[in-house]
Amino acid sequence: MGRPSIAEAATLSERILEEAVRLFFDQGFRATSVDMVADAAGVTKRTLYARYRSKAVLFEAAVSATIDMRLDALALLMPAEGDIRSRLVSVCTLLLDWLLMDRSVGMYRVVSAESRQFPALARNIHSHGARRAAGLIGDALQEGVRKGEIEIDDIGFAADYLTAAVIQYPFQQAVLGLVAARLDDATRHHIDQAVELFLAGTLPRGRRAEQP
């Protein structure tokens, strides 16, 4: 047999990552071996190592692929109608709804458990997910600036700030098992309050003076 086509190679990589995600999140990083992933994906260890030189690299690729796949899907759902407040609430709700799924919470717990042994790996995964999430919020902020609804000098900083304000507390509570991992009324209220407070500082200067 000849070498696989580009499409076949991509399909093979997707299958490897799909099985890696399932095993890492079901069994944990330490209990999952490269042999287990190769067997589940129906490939040899040599084939797997040709793509991912270590278990840590495979883990990072699997988590990053999961983040990308979900956020790519969420990007298609980003609201285009409504005012800046309703658009931001919608974006933040979509993001937090995804993060509060059992699989997302489990993924973060596995990453956190390995952060001491693989600090660079944890940093890479965290920054990748945070950057992608903040990018979606940044797009909404950029649109608000373009329409004259808000005034922001540094979109990147503002997006990071709002991402942290909306997501960090409820997500950390879920990761620690202090609350159920779901988007409930209290979480929706948290989103509304965070967005309201953020917008109070970003309204155009003339409109701020009009506020009671």
Taking the model in full, what pTM does it have?
Answer: 0.77
Q: Is the dihedral of CA 131, 132, 133, 136 positive or negative?
A: positive
Q: Which residue has the tokens 């040709």?
A: 50
Angstrom distance (rounded) from CA 2 to CA 17 = 23
pLDDT tens by residue, the chain, 212 residues: 445 566 666 788 899 999 999 999 888 889 999 999 999 999 999 999 999 999 989 998 988 888 888 888 888 888 878 999 999 999 999 999 988 888 888 888 888 888 888 888 778 777 888 888 899 999 999 999 999 999 999 999 999 999 999 988 888 888 888 888 889 999 999 999 999 999 999 988 665 545 55
pLDDT tens-digit readout, 131-186: 888 999 999 999 999 999 999 999 999 999 999 999 888 888 888 888 888 899 99
Is 154:161 a contact under the CB 8 Å cutoff?
no
Interatomic CA distance for residues 35 and 91, integer angstroms = 40
From CA 156, how far away is CA 66, in angstroms rounded?
A: 23
Token code pair at residue 150: 């808000």
In the chain, pLDDT over 70 holds for what percent of residues?
Answer: 92
**Identity (one letter) of the amino acid at 22?**
R
- The DSSP 8-state label assigned to residue 153 in this structure reads S
Nearest to 202 by CA among 152, 158, 161: 152
